[in-house]
Amino acid sequence: MASLAPQHRFSITCDDSGSWTLEGGPQRRHRRFPDLAAALDCAKHDGELEPATIELRVSGLYVCIHQDQGWPQRVCGPRQSGWLSRRAS
């Protein structure tokens, strides 16, 4: 059964240049990252792995993700260095 206790709320947005912006959480920071994995790592750290709601916005796509204590759900795959440049060629 879901808890009614207050949860952290994070918003992660990707802009046209490919930069990711993280807002919200207990720190209420506004920070930029080179990739989604880095933004999520920061949110995990800021939220101390407590239950959270993550709003993800990319090119008109909106995804709302609930993470239980410990953030057991995987949101994205591991970083792959140079993936975009290899795919573009």
Domain boundaries of the chain, sorted by first residue: 8-88
Q: Which tokens go with 55?
A: 């709003």
CA–CA dist 42, 48 (Å, integer):
10
CA–CA dist 72, 62 (Å, integer):
21
pLDDT of residue 87: 47
pLDDT of residue 76: 86
Q: Which tokens go with 22?
A: 């993280």
Closest among 12, 69, 6, 19 to 40, alpha carbons compared: 12
pLDDT of residue 5: 63
pLDDT of residue 28: 81
Query: What percent helix, strand, coil does the chain show, rounded to 5?
Result: 20, 35, 45
- Compute mean pLDDT per 10 residues along the chain, 89 residues long, and list them: 72 93 87 93 91 94 94 81 50
pLDDT of residue 50: 92
